[in-house]
């Protein structure tokens, strides 16, 4: 049923014993804290100029939809899995964004009973502008810690994500590169 390689044996092999909270570095936050705080700050920087750029109606929770939407159309269930939201919450956010003119639902050509969610022209503009804003944020953050260090950190995180998704393919593709 399970491989003979366990988390404990991997920990023993690589770290010489079971890891404990005492093994965490004292000179930095634990990885979970780093990721959560960076995501919070990233979302703040992403949204900060939204109103002046014509997106007064986009709220922080909508970013979970936009960040996982893509442009080729996606079913609600797939979007919920990518966004790591419940089907009900995803449906609510999609309906809000549809009412605001950012998204539309179209019949799925592969299954006429199902619908695909697409960005409207306004939604595509918002996605394009968000991509530009992400580039601005990366430039800003690179300036804070140095381009090389920023690039190395981003590359290390990408490599880690790729490896973890190979180990856990049931993760739903949440790490798919969407921009």
Q: DSSP labels for 150-166? A: HHHHHHHHHHHHHHHHH
> Cβ contacts of residue 108 below 8 Å, gap of 6+?
73, 75, 114, 115, 116
Tokens of 117: 């969610």
Q: Cα–Cα distance between 100 and 58 in angstroms, integer?
A: 9
pTM of the model: 0.77
Tokens of 58: 């986009």
pLDDT at residue 21 in the model: 81
Least confident of 14-18, 47-51, 158-162: 14-18
> Cβ contacts of residue 28 below 8 Å, gap of 6+?
34
β-sheet bridge partners, residue 116: 106
User: CA nearest 96: which of 46, 58, 56?
Assistant: 58
- pLDDT of 171 > 70? The answer is no
- Domain 48-171 CATH class label: mainly alpha
Q: What is the pLDDT of residues 76-125, one digit of tens each?
A: 999 999 999 999 999 999 999 999 999 999 999 988 889 999 999 999 99
- Ramachandran angles phi, psi of 113, nearest 5°: -80, -25
- pLDDT of 71 > 80? The answer is yes
Q: Work out the average pLDDT over 51-68.
A: 92
């Amino acid at each position: 049923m399970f491989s003979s390689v366990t988390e404990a044996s991997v920990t023993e092999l690589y770290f010489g014993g079971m890891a404990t909270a005492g093994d965490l570095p004292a000179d930095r936050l634990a990885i979970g804290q780093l990721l959560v705080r960076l995501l919070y700050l990233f979302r703040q920087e992403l949204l900060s100029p939204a109103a002046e750029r014509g997106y007064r109606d986009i709220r922080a929770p909508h970013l979970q939809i936009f960040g996982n939407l893509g442009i080729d159309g996606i079913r609600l269930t797939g979007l919920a899995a990518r966004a790591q939201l419940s089907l009900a919450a995803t449906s609510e956010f999609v309906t809000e964004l549809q009412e605001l003119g950012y998204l539309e639902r179209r019949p799925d050509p592969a299954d006429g009973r199902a619908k695909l969610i697409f960005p409207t022209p306004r939604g595509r503009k918002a996605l394009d502008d968000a991509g530009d804003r992400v580039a601005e944020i990366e430039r800003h953050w690179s300036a804070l810690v140095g381009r090389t260090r920023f690039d190395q950190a981003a590359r290390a995180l990408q490599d880690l994500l790729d490896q973890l998704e190979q180990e856990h393919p049931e993760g739903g593709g949440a790490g798919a590169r969407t921009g």
